[in-house]
Structure 1
Amino acid sequence: MYRIGEFAEMTGLTKETLRYYAQMELLVPVFVNPKNKYSYYDNHSFLTARLLVYLRRFDFSIQEMLTVIHDRSLFELEEILKEKKVALRQRIVETEAIVTEIDEFLEMGD
């Protein structure tokens, strides 16, 4: 088992993020020492942590991450990622439309 500091270093997550993820029940320590309140993680926790790192990088919200971890099977991960990709592409289209509107607005002022 790994203490929170070791685990943070291994996963690339900060200790604060790990504490927040525990509070949100995204990644709960496998053991918390009742005497000193140190949190411990295991190898399974490592896999979950790495998945969470990627989900954040892929612009998943905390709520979306909770859905992946708790409500939907990891066997559905490919489908979930495809859905996210479609949503991100739509957001790009919408953002480009807004940029065009800004340009048009600025041109009206000239």
Structure 2
Amino acid sequence: MYKISEFAELTGLSKETLRYYGEVKLLEPAYIDPVNKYRYYDDGSYFLAVLLVKLKGFGFTIQEMISVMEDESFANLEKLLQQKRNAITLQINDLTTKLKELDEFLESGKENEE
């Protein structure tokens, strides 16, 4: 069992994030001491935390992460990951277009100076 501070260091999630994830039932401690209210996490919690860190890095919202945890099926996770991939692809295309437009605008300003 890991104390919350140890678990935070191990997973890269802050203690505040772990408390919040517990409140929204996303990642609950394996055990809470009834006397001092200390939170303890186990190895199973670690694997869930690693998954949550990955999902957060992919831009998943809290609600999307809750959906993944509640469903527990790979099909749902795969579908959501594919949706995120498609959204990122659209963002890349949009940013590429904006970059090209910006470059063209900069070039047109240089032509007007001459």
TM-score range, shorter chain: 0.7 to 0.9
Question: Structure 2 matches for 1:1-110, cutoff 5 A?
Answer: 1-70=1-70, 72-76=71-75, 77-97=77-97
Displacement of 1:67 after TM fit? Answer: 1.1
Displacement of 1:96 after TM fit? Answer: 4.5
RMSD, aligned α-carbons? 2.1
Between 1:77-86 and 1:30-39, the stretch displaced more is: 77-86
Displacement of 1:106 after TM fit? Answer: 8.8
Q: 1:10 to 1:74 in 2, by over 3 A?
A: farther
For 2:59, what is the secondary structure of its paired residue? coil
Q: Matches of 1:24 and 1:96 in 2, distance apart?
A: 37
TM-score (norm. length: structure 2): 0.78
TM-score (norm. length: structure 1): 0.80
Displacement of 1:18 after TM fit? Answer: 0.5
Q: 1:95 to 1:63 in 2, by over 3 A?
A: farther
* Contiguous gaps of at least 5 residues in structure 2: none
Kindly name which structure, 1 or 2, has the bigger radius of gyration based on alpha carbons: 2
Q: Matches of 2:12 and 2:69 in 1, distance apart?
A: 19
| Runs of 4+ with deviation above 4 angstroms | 95-107
Q: How many residues align?
A: 109
